[in-house]
Amino acid sequence: MTPIIDVTDVTRTFGSGPTATAALRGVNMTVGEGQLVALRGRSGSGKTTLLNIVGGLDAPDSGAVRIDGKDVTSMSEQQRVHLRRETVAYIFQSFSLLPGLSAAEN
């Protein structure tokens, strides 16, 4: 199985000092071509943080993320924008569609 998404030992902490909150601690995940994956967990368990890191919207504190063999964590902002336009798609839980635009335009 060739991995399409490969997440290796990803960590992400918000805040610092005694109020620091570890959202992700050493997360590993591999998704192969054709696999359907569902992330589930209680509120605050890191699901959205992980998806934001996989899509290049946020950066991990440590670890690596590869999409189709490309290292997302070392990409420039422009390369991450291209990744989201061409490779990674999101369906947001609360989306903000503009009523005057078609689905494609939104």
Domains of the chain: 3-86 (3.40.50.300)
Name 71's bridge partners: 66
Distance from C-alpha of 52 to C-alpha of 58, rounded to nearest angstrom = 5
Per residue in 49-98, pLDDT (tens digit) is 999 999 999 999 999 999 999 999 999 999 999 998 888 877 666 667 77
Provide the pLDDT for residue 92. Answer: 66
